[in-house]
Structure 1
């Protein structure tokens, strides 16, 4: 990615950075935003980027109203929309943005040179201890994973869930999937998910919302090639949602390096 300013991933990340900054400011001004307002505002920021065509799927805006069920449920819309998978806000039924609730945005864009799919969770006030713990026990282990080439797609799913499993929590959604252009945002045959028992071998060059690449290892037992992941999403993680006491030194370094890379590229 020699010239990141021209790259689809950086253009989309720049649009998201402008959008999130604007959204947080408006929320704190008590602008009384609806979910539809938020989706339209995001579309506005994305549409000014070079090569933008349209959204790659309906923008999903989620909130968790009961922190005791988070993250065991699929994050869903504000208020009564709290348990709908891939909830799409509609003008006649959508909720208003509540700064006291967790806010999750799942969205993507179709550009002439590719497709994006990104999810981020934030809190516009102060997250609870429960929210921070559930948020922190996340996907860093998957991002750092190294594994032999040819492992079935579903095997990597456990890396992302292992920290949650240790305290008896889980989430009812897949972890990663291929991303194809021309509106086929969920593209197979690979899929990092426990749901389908996908036996498709993970190979160098695949996309699972992360880019699969060769990993440098000091050993190659049995002559195997080892693989790891490269990030494709250059957007920050809200640090106030992170319980640093739950992270290892290596995970803290990962978070700092991730944000340094985002700052440099975006």
Structure 2
């Protein structure tokens, strides 16, 4: 806590010493690529506040320090931050002022607010600037990040930016060459009359070039920028030298790649803008995502260098829309890796129950490590897709819980509800699964809550809906059984998932809050289906499957297909196919709360799990795991 105050004091001194003193400084959880999960070099908000959650924005003034974050992290913030100097702003609550309104209300007219333009997207910058201008305040860009400067002053400098080895992912996994992807982007550029496309999101660059890296933990991406013109493809990576093996693979796929140093991106864009301005009809446009940083927007337009900056087409990235719809090879990869992942998770739960039943001590971290061991046995496994969340008892109520390896270890007890959220990265896909199991005998309330969450998951998993509806339309389906008795959960119901890429992928999702760029659901998407319930201080429940969107007719194998009498007047019918294959814990289910449809749905799911995984377990001589799975998947009948 003393350290937190020392860091804040040093930051405030630096704010006051700026050429124009800052009344407030904003520290987002962000890197220059708008990544959800960031590298330690970019973990500025974590360093200044002590709060380690993956989402949140800090605001520091001369007298106050605040963090805005969502309901996933309220409990975690209160455990980690020094609450005598930091204030939690619960952004999910309607009575909580937004950051813009708080600044406009609490600062004096004429105040200057600063932020590093590399850490804020154009879509975030513009409304904030508008709100402050209306309040007679000013938002200014601070190019040399103040938190980085404070770290140097306090002799705790940020670590070096990683530039690890990059690998090529063959078309047997991707289903499409990098050359095909670049050609399609160039066709889009012609339609948009764009002279260049600037790609800044790391997963979009990895997808476009069929390359993967490891610069951010759990995310197979690498720090880079990509500039596509009608005649060139330039990758800004490390010191600019593209490994020969990578260049040769790309050439085989129809892409001649040019390399430039990572840090040259802004200077190159400014030079390019000047060249286009001097050699043309003045109608050149640069295309980039609205989620690219304010710094990249300014450089791409030549702002500050040209009398008349270039026109920018700033909107949802064409790459984001392209990778949203998986091709047949990618979809089959997802299905296959979920079979292998299901084997690993089933083996783990059988092992965990056997240990707890014998009275052995198993900590949360030991459980997470053991699951990783089982996943490592599976073909094409490349690592975890995020840090496992092994929440025993009261820790299960911390939605994004992460046990520390340094402090005391929490044992998993026979009296615990145990929530395990985990996932794997495989060359042919990405998995993300949550299962909640009781290590002994659940209470009636736990069974009731478990079943209501399960009803919500079944409601979404079995839903039919018109092609093109946005994901937020489905969110209430997941909550109704909880809402019926006054219960709820403080997170979204589903997110997109990348193909051997980021486990959270936009622009589609299922949430009470609309995804701003959701183009509407179409066949071939991969989403999560994960309602939950959390009793703070006692236990947490979440059921998470990954699902693929499929077109549905009366002939489709879908539990509601036979009831169709129309196709929404020609719009087309969509549904979900669940690809996660791990049973639910039957002793936690209150059968009386399930309808006949839900009971049949659950029995059919368990039958599919056993018929898919059982023979594979026997082939590998895993008889104990087979017998455990057979018992877990036995049909539920009305008692």
Q: TM > 0.5 between the two?
A: yes
CA deviation map 1:164-207 (0-9, x unaligned)? 11001001121111111344010011111113455621111111
What's the offset of the Cα at 1:83? 4.7
Question: Between Structure 1 and Structure 2, how many residues are aligned?
Answer: 249
Between the aligned partners of 1:83 and 1:265, the Cα distance in structure 2 is 32
Q: Is the 8 A contact 2:468 2:522 kept in 1?
A: yes
Matches within 5 A, 1:1-266: 7-65=336-394, 77=395, 83-93=397-407, 94-138=409-453, 139-198=457-516, 200=518, 201-209=520-528, 210-216=547-553, 217-266=564-613
Aligned-pair RMSD on alpha carbons?
Answer: 1.9
Q: Is the 8 A contact 1:61 1:87 kept in 2?
A: yes
- What residue ranges of structure 1 are gaps of 5+ in the alignment? 66-76
Higher relative contact order (CA closer than 8 Å, sequence separation 6+) = 1
Between 1:230-239 and 1:202-211, the stretch displaced more is 202-211
Between 1:233-242 and 1:206-215, the stretch displaced more is 206-215
15 and 147 in structure 1: CA distance in 2 versus 1, 3 angstrom threshold: same
Following TM superposition, the consecutive aligned residue runs of length 4 or more in structure 1 with deviations greater than 4 angstroms are 196-199
What's the offset of the Cα at 1:126? 0.7
Q: Is the 8 A contact 2:509 2:515 kept in 1?
A: no
Between the aligned partners of 1:133 and 1:223, the Cα distance in structure 2 is 40
Between the aligned partners of 1:206 and 1:176, the Cα distance in structure 2 is 12
Q: Is the 8 A contact 2:382 2:427 kept in 1?
A: yes
Any idea what SS the aligned residue of 2:513 has? Answer: coil
Q: Is the 8 A contact 1:153 1:198 kept in 2?
A: no
What's the offset of the Cα at 1:85? 3.3
What's the offset of the Cα at 1:208? 1.1
Give TM-score scaled by structure 2 length.
0.38
Q: Which has the higher helix share?
A: 2
CA deviation map 1:226-262 (0-9, x unaligned)? 1111001111011111111001111100010000000
Between the aligned partners of 2:513 and 2:393, the Cα distance in structure 1 is 23
Between the aligned partners of 1:53 and 1:34, the Cα distance in structure 2 is 25
Give TM-score scaled by structure 1 length.
0.88
Between 1:222-231 and 1:113-122, the stretch displaced more is 222-231
Q: Is the 8 A contact 1:153 1:199 kept in 2?
A: no
Q: Is the 8 A contact 1:152 1:198 kept in 2?
A: no
Q: Is the 8 A contact 2:342 2:582 kept in 1?
A: yes
- What residue ranges of structure 2 are gaps of 5+ in the alignment? 1-327, 529-546, 554-563, 614-639
Between the aligned partners of 2:393 and 2:363, the Cα distance in structure 1 is 16
Give the match for residue 66 of structure 2. Answer: none
Between the aligned partners of 1:168 and 1:245, the Cα distance in structure 2 is 19
